[in-house]
Chains A and B, each alone.
Chain A
Amino acid sequence: MTQTVTQKIMALNGAEAIAEAMRQINPDVVASYPITPQTIIVERFSEFVADGLVDTEFVAAESEHSALSASIGAAAAGGRSMTATSSQGFALMWEMLYIAAGMRLPIVMAVANRALSGPINIHCDHSDSMGGRDSGWIQLYSENVQEAYDNTIQAIKIGEHQNVRLPVMVCMDGFTTSHAVERIDVLDDNAVKKFVGEYHIDHPLLDVDQAVTYGPLALPEYYFEIKMQQIEAMTNAKPVIEQVSKAYGSISGRSYGLVEPYNMEKAELAIVILGSTAGTAKSLLDDLNDPRLGLLKIRTFRPFPTEEIAANLRKCKAVAVLDRAASFGSIGGPVFSEVRAALYDEPKRPQIVNYIYGLGGRDTTTDMLKTVYDDLDTVAKTGKPDPVQRFLGLRDD
């Protein structure tokens, strides 16, 4: 391994770890609004501002819609801008999500994934960010506090890359990761500063010598072309995410690809998960020590790593895709639908089933995941995936 920089061991929860990364990034503007349920990300960051530890202009907006609007304005003006949200606040940002992406502004936003009302819940599931999967944002999902910290720093480099220029969501599981204290390695301030570099935008709105217009009307003669550019930017993002991950690995010793295979070399039965439950599955796999069982963790949901998923799953006999969000009326959850589609071109496809799990913070244990592997064994033996959609941890008769 290459020589990495000195790192400090800290005990932080996911929210504090992201705030710490933001302090080291030292963005020009952070705009936020603490709608319930929020996290302490911006609360902790506002303390850094008050203590003079950052040069950031902190904007306390009057809603999360305004918080993202202010972030958009700041990014267009020529500043590096960041924000954080969760659940209902994410939902209120909806309109602006598309505008941030459409205007190609590389804002980095932390998302503590939580359920959407109603009923009112506040606990973890992925309904918030999964709903925003087609808004044009890059989405990185973090398994634990370390990854939440590492992904935040990398997100800056990914989004701001000349071939990408897209906003990035750094997602972590609400409570499970956002509020749980873990031991993590934190990079040296200077190493982060050097890694993220200076923010550059080609046509800043505040350049008075060259007047530009952001967010103009683009009627049928132009809108389609602008959207095609966004489609291409997402394609460009894939190699950039991998390059940035490699570069980050060379300073930190921690490198993440688009997906993370775990015990997949000889796996016949595989589970596909994103977020903290991947950690639960790893723990189970370590206990079972069975080469037939594997895990494929998706770190990057947007852009969707189609080839990497197909390459990892094509040799399996049966695959279970776990979704922590329901797509009401669809054939399965959002992750399932896309993983299944990714396998369509394979000459020999594995049997594939979907599990909806953990909605509204329902706990998902190693025992539950064990039943999934047991079910997969049956599916592989019978060659029948019915029922395709299943529910894990639901009280059922």
Chain B
Amino acid sequence: MTVERKKWRDLPIGGVIITGGNAQVYLTGNWRTKKPVIDMKRCTNCMICWVYCPEGVILVKDGKITGIDLEHCKGCGICAVECPTKVIEMVKESKDE
């Protein structure tokens, strides 16, 4: 996950953010040390993880969990704790992954 960052002359002055809705381009996924892995076969699609995830990165389509946006998931582990069926495992990530 590498991001092309602007040089100092090209950034707006004073750290002002001049466009709206751009939290998406700030990839928080690299804060993580462990990533959540859902056992899709045992998931009941109860949506508890979707409700609790502070980042809103649990991906859902047609009422079914489809995965996790790992570019923004911070690896906080809340989903794993809250999942009533305990089908989310926090797995250690290595650098070369």
Residues 3 to 45 of chain B near chain A (Cβ within 8 Å)? 5-9, 11-18, 20
Nearest-Cβ distance from residue A209 to partner chain B, whole angstroms? 11
Contacts of B13 in A (CB 8 A): 104, 165, 226, 229, 233
At the interface, yes or no: A211 with Cβ under 8 Å from chain B?
yes
Contact, CB under 8 Å: B16 / A229:
no
User: Does A9 lie at the interface of the complex (its beta carbon under 8 Å from any beta carbon of B)?
Assistant: no
Shortest C-beta distance, A196 to chain B (Å), equals 21
Could you tell me the distance in whole angstroms from the C-beta of B9 to the nearest C-beta in chain A? 8
* Contacts of A81-113 to chain B: CB distance below 8 A: 102-105
Pair B17/A225 contact, Cβ less than 8 Å: no
- A212 CB contacts on chain B under 8 angstroms: 16-18, 20
Tally of contacts, chain A with chain B, CB under 8 A = 51
**Neighbouring B residues of A203 by C-beta, 8 Å:** 12, 16, 18
B residues less than 8 Å from A233 (CB atoms): 13
Chain A residues, CB < 8 A from B11: 222, 225-226, 229
- Residue in A closest to B22 when the chains form the complex, CB atoms: A213
**Shortest 9 CB-CB distances between A and B: which pairs?**
A104-B14, A225-B8, A213-B17, A211-B20, A228-B8, A226-B15, A103-B14, A218-B15, A104-B13
The chain A residues found within 8 Å of chain B, CB to CB, are 102-105, 165, 203, 210-216, 218, 221-226, 228-229, 233
Beyond the given pairs A104-B16, A225-B7, 4 more chain A to chain B contacts, judged by CB atoms under 8 angstroms and listed by A's residue number, are: A104-B14, A203-B12, A216-B17, A225-B6
Residues of B within 8 A of A (CB): 5-9, 11-18, 20
A-B pairs with beta carbons under 8 Å apart, 30 shown: A102-B14, A103-B14, A104-B13, A105-B14, A165-B13, A165-B14, A203-B16, A203-B18, A211-B20, A212-B16, A212-B18, A214-B16, A215-B15, A216-B15, A222-B11, A222-B15, A223-B15, A224-B8, A225-B6, A225-B7, A225-B8, A225-B11, A226-B8, A226-B15, A228-B8, A229-B8, A229-B9, A229-B11, A229-B14, A233-B13
